[in-house]
Structure 1
Amino acid sequence: MEQLKRMAVFATVVDCGSMVAAAEVLGMTASAVSQQIRKLEESTQVSLLHRTTRKLTLTEAGATFYQSCAQVVALARQAEQRLAELRDAPVGELRIAAPVGFSGRPISAALAPLLQAHSGLSLKLFFHDEQIDLIEQRIDLAIRVGNLEDSSLVARHIGDSRMLLCAAPAYLLRKPPVNRPEDLLGLDWLALNSDTAHNPLSLSGPAGEVQKVRMESRVSCNNILAVRHFTLAGMGVSLQPEQEVHEELATGSLRELLPEWRLQPFGIYLVTPRRDAQPAKVRYAIEALRQHLLAF
């Protein structure tokens, strides 16, 4: 690395035409610049400059060597400029991971305007209901819900949502009325592998009472959209994120069961591997997602 520094000093001396002028540009003393050139010549065992009292001139070897040194300096400046662009403007590839349920309108509504405004930005999305390793997959930003176990990550809480007990009207016509939490026990449970298939539902009633119901799943999978499609097909009851089933509830293709009984809300987080030195693409995406995710 010292040799690279000396090469940069040498290129600056040649560009400026003197040790004194180069020293002013580099913020060094003229004697320190001269010392760097001397060490460079000693390490290469080649004379690079002819020194006279009036001026410096390049030797033949020095002229050839200068071209390479100038290229090194130019590449270093380009690298610095590229870092400045990444810091100050949303450019490059933005890699975002999110649960499958976020793959629809909320993500596109948040990120499409960002992509339209910044032509140097590209987007790669990864939708998994299982949590993936952000470092290993080089993820810039992740949307996560519920409890966060990895304390090494930086999580920004942007709001809360809740899960609703849902079923298709056709399925409910085949079953006895569901008026109390215990009435759920006779129903077919459709579950995510990670949800309450193995833990009891904890429901809070209008009078403050709490009831826990353990549901045995008939169908379970690792994808919330698949669970939703089975529910819409009249195969049973499932938990669905409130912000993802507004349309189905509005059209009547799904009905909410026990609306006066509530499950504990869950947090929605924007998660990054680190807090400091976030590139502009991540900062812009965080703000866009913060404004849009809970608006649906």
Structure 2
Amino acid sequence: MENLRRMALFAQVVQHGSMSAAARALGMSTSAISQQVRALEQEAGVALLHRSTRQLSLTDVGSRYYAACARLLDAAGEAAAELSAARHAPSGELRLSAPLGMADHVGPALGAWLRDNPQLRLHLHFEDGWTDLVQARIDLALRFGQLPDSDWMAQRLGTLQRWPCAAPDWLRRHGPPADPLQVPAGEWLGLAQVPGLAWRHRASGQERRVPAHPRLVSHNQPAVRQLCVSGLGVAVLTCLDVMPMLADGRLVRLLPEWDVPALPVWAVTPHRQTQPAKVRQAIELLGRYLAGIPGVGDSGA
């Protein structure tokens, strides 16, 4: 590595025409530049420069050697420019991991941005589990709920309200409950975490722990939503899952006076250092999109 540095210094000396001019450009002393070039010559066992009191000139081997060193310097400049461009303009491939419930939302959130940046590619990985971001080479992951301890960087984008919902057909058969305990234990659908939810009455502050024994359990939230639409029971779904279905009447929100804890949404990245533009801008756009959805709370930032 030290030899590469000396090669770059040698190329700078030739390009600036003298050691003193190169020293001024690089913020070094002339003697330090001279020592580095002399060390390069001693290691090679050949003279690279003809020195005189007035000017420097290249030897024959020095001229050929300079051509290679100049290519090295140009490549380093191109690498630095590539890093600078990555910091300021989105480019390359963005590898994004998100829960299955976000599948309908990535397009509206990022579509215009992708159209405006044709040099950017998007690789989507949808799952409800916890992918190892480094092993999967993920640049950005959206995560819901409480995060496990890790060295990753997490930024909260907002909170999702969770609402108990049922199909009109279920309501015709069972009637609208006034209390979570009025929902038969076997009529719940969804994740195994439903029994652990703490329900709180907004006006009185009363709390409930519902002894739910879900009739159908799945770790795939879109599947739970579809089972709910089919009238098979009551599911606690996020506002992201149900807004279109509440709007067109396929689902009805139950127990509007009762709240369950909101679900935090996180943007998680595997690196804590400065993020490239593609990651910074994607986080900003996803946060802005979520903020425009009814039922999404602010980021708490």
User: Normalising to structure 1: TM-score of the pair?
Assistant: 0.90
**May I ask how many residue pairs the two structures share in their alignment?**
292
- For residues 27 and 180 of structure 1, the distance between their equivalents in structure 2, rounded to whole angstroms, comes to 74
- For residues 2 and 196 of structure 2, the distance between their equivalents in structure 1, rounded to whole angstroms, comes to 64
- For residues 202 and 22 of structure 1, the distance between their equivalents in structure 2, rounded to whole angstroms, comes to 70
Q: Which residue of 1 aligns with 2:213?
A: 216
2:231 aligns with one of 219, 227, 234 = 234
Pairing 1:59-78 to 2, within 5 Å after superposition: 59-78=59-78
- Identity, in percent, stands at 42
How far the C-alpha of 1:282 sits from its partner, in A, is 1.8
Which stretch shifts more, 274-283 or 167-176? 167-176
Structure 1 residue 52 and structure 2 residue 49: aligned? no
1:107 touches 1:293 (CA, 8 Å); kept in 2?
A: no
Which stretch shifts more, 39-48 or 230-239? 230-239
Pairing 1:1-296 to 2, within 5 Å after superposition: 1-104=1-104, 106-175=105-174, 178-192=177-191, 195-196=193-194, 199-205=195-201, 206-296=203-293
Q: Which amino acid aligns with 2:44?
A: T
- For residues 152 and 247 of structure 1, the distance between their equivalents in structure 2, rounded to whole angstroms, comes to 37
- For residues 151 and 29 of structure 2, the distance between their equivalents in structure 1, rounded to whole angstroms, comes to 45
Which stretch shifts more, 94-103 or 11-20? 11-20
- For residues 205 and 54 of structure 2, the distance between their equivalents in structure 1, rounded to whole angstroms, comes to 93
> 1:23 and 1:202, CA in 2 relative to 1: closer, same or farther beyond 3 A?
closer
Q: Which residue of 1 aligns with 2:299?
A: none
The Cα offsets for residues 146-168 of structure 1, whole Å up to 9 and x where unpaired, read as 21222533332232222111122
How far the C-alpha of 1:69 sits from its partner, in A, is 0.8
> 1:187 and 1:170, CA in 2 relative to 1: closer, same or farther beyond 3 A?
farther
> 1:233 and 1:40, CA in 2 relative to 1: closer, same or farther beyond 3 A?
same
The Cα offsets for residues 59-98 of structure 1, whole Å up to 9 and x where unpaired, read as 2322222121111111110111111111122222222222
- For residues 65 and 239 of structure 1, the distance between their equivalents in structure 2, rounded to whole angstroms, comes to 71
How far the C-alpha of 1:290 sits from its partner, in A, is 1.6
Q: Let me know the Cα RMSD of the aligned residues.
A: 2.1
Q: Which amino acid aligns with 2:196?
A: P
Q: Which amino acid aligns with 1:87?
A: R
Give SS of 2:38's match.
Answer: helix
1:187 touches 1:237 (CA, 8 Å); kept in 2?
A: no
1:201 touches 1:214 (CA, 8 Å); kept in 2?
A: no
Give SS of 1:78's match.
Answer: helix
How far the C-alpha of 1:186 sits from its partner, in A, is 4.5
Q: Which amino acid aligns with 1:290?
A: G
Q: Which amino acid aligns with 1:66?
A: Y
Which stretch shifts more, 122-131 or 19-28? 19-28
Give SS of 1:137's match.
Answer: coil
- For residues 35 and 153 of structure 2, the distance between their equivalents in structure 1, rounded to whole angstroms, comes to 47
- For residues 45 and 270 of structure 1, the distance between their equivalents in structure 2, rounded to whole angstroms, comes to 56
Q: Which amino acid aligns with 1:114?
A: W
1:41 touches 1:48 (CA, 8 Å); kept in 2?
A: yes
